[in-house]
Amino acid sequence: NVDESVTANMTSASNSHRPGAFPADAVTGAASSPKYHWYRGVFFQATVVGIAAFTAPGLWNAMNSVGAGGQQSPYLVMAGNAVLFSLMTITCLTGSIIANRFGLKATFAFGTTGYAVYSAALYTNNRYGTEWFIYVGSAACGITAGLFWAAEGAIMLSYPEPENRGKYLAYWLCYRNSGSILGGVINLAFNYQGKRTGKLDWRTYIVFVVLQCLGPLVALLLSPSDKVVRRNGTRVQIVERISDSAELKELGRLMLRKEFLLVTPFFIYVNWLLPYSSSYLSLYFTIRARALASLVSALAQIAGTAALGSFLDWKRLSLTTRARVSYAFLMALIGGCWIWGTVVQADHARHKPSFDWDDAGFGRGWALYIMWQVNFALTYNFGYWLVGWMSRHPSDIVRYTSAARALESAGQCISSGISSTSAPLTAALGVNFALWGIAVVPAYFVVRQVGLRHVGAHSAQEGSSEAVDSQKAQRNQECSDDI
């Protein structure tokens, strides 16, 4: 069970803020506690965010985890995805500005609206060969999804107490990955007889479009930030709204911090893998093998993120030890998979196979794809957790999530552009491997200071065990910008 008790309160001044303003990490000091209602609780808000993530990016991931959105050739879809993620880079960067002006709930709900358009574009291309709608759908999804990504991350980092943040992140990501599970079941049900390479059955996309249309309706169930009440009766503090120009300046100042510059290669790397792995799956495996991969990879991602989230909140080890051990394990796992991938990709480039699940040699390359997907889920989860501890002030949380997601989108934009060409997959793998190597060491300089210098915006909280242990470190952090 996720403990919802967190020592936080909204100050009396926050009552003057407009509903839906984005929240800070909590502080204590309220004269009276509001009445707790389950539909205003943190767990319910996390569930709403999770279900919306299930219908929106979860199902989007399900389509792309089957390889190139289920199309026969990856090149058109990858070109569309390059458009999508170029726009997402911009909208992610403006996420904190939009949330500052309209509030997290409105930003979050609007962010769910473009995914169904993207799925509809895949449907028309699959059934009728329409190409222009791929670019329109990709643009619509890119504009809205950037805001969704920024808002969902801010909610999931701001609402839970710091010592349970890892579990809440895992809970939310399990919902997102559950979208891929359902999508995998749908893919497999419609395509289990596809013993050749090619595209998915067009009926697959109709189910996706219908489910994704439910996303905006689910998002409207989210409570405005100023109405969220934790089980112990405390509220989430509301960050004071500032002008758009001031918000933009603060975002720029944050992105120039030394610690953020050091983790920039890491966040660019997080999503860079996905276009390559999608092309790899679509070119070397049959339709039903791809459908099975979308299901199994989702199950493996849920297991992996749940295990990582539990370890990150494990109190028997210090926060610093948890950060270092999890990062070292994660980077070693990724490096090992890239070595494995180099061998497999070189072999596939020579022989150009079309593996079905009952073919000899199927397991070696197919299992590699599953591991790549698990690696992505773990780096994604860890990146959010790291951002939570890097934040120095409550308002940093939305800005950090916006900036981090912008870097991830920029990386996936460039990677999708590479995959949309006829460049050999061996070269794409080499770029991925090299980027991982570039990211490992700089990010470690930040990770090793988690719990020592990077203690999160919650250090003023009373009763938070992680914060109490780190208050002296927080005072040192405020005196210097050096790592």
> Each residue of 131-183: pLDDT tens digit?
899 999 999 999 999 999 889 888 888 887 777 778 888 888 888 878 778 77
Q: Quick one: tokens of 222?
A: 């989210």
- State mean pLDDT over 368-389: 93
Domains of the chain as residue ranges with CATH: 12-479 (1.20.1250.20)
Work out the pLDDT band at 198, boundaries 50, 70, 90: low
> How far is the C-alpha of 275 from the C-alpha of 64, rounded, in Å?
9
CB 411 within 8 A of CB 271: yes
Q: Give how far Cα 450 sits from Cα of 311, 437, 444, Å.
A: 15, 21, 10
> How far is the C-alpha of 271 from the C-alpha of 149, rounded, in Å?
13
> How far is the C-alpha of 357 from the C-alpha of 338, rounded, in Å?
23
DSSP 73-126: -SHHHHHHHHHHHHHHHHHHHTHHHHHHHH-HHHHHHHHTTTHHHHHHHHHHHH
DSSP 322-342: HHHHHHHHHHHHHHHHHHHHH
- State mean pLDDT over 30-46: 77
- State mean pLDDT over 250-274: 93
Q: Quick one: tokens of 296?
A: 């199994």
Q: Which residues, at least 6 apart from 109, have a Cβ–Cβ distance to it below 8 Å?
A: 216, 219, 220, 222
> How far is the C-alpha of 406 from the C-alpha of 260, rounded, in Å?
13
How high is the mean pLDDT of the chain?
82
Other CB atoms within a 10 A radius of the CB of residue 475 amount to 11
Work out the pLDDT band at 190, boundaries 50, 70, 90: confident
- Amino acid, single-letter form, for residue 105: K
Looking at residue 147, its pLDDT comes to: 93
* Residue 70 zone, left/alpha/beta (φ > 0; ψ -120 to 50; rest): left
* pLDDT tens digits for range 42-76: 889 999 999 999 999 888 887 776 544 445 456 78
What is this structure's pTM? 0.78
Judge whether residue 37 has pLDDT over 90. no
Looking at residue 232, its pLDDT comes to: 67
Scored b (16 or more CB within 10 A) or e, 66-85 reads bbbbbbeebebbbbbbbbbb
Looking at residue 75, its pLDDT comes to: 74
Rounded to 5 degrees, φ, ψ at 23 are -90, 160
* pLDDT tens digits for range 204-231: 788 889 999 999 999 999 988 888 877 7
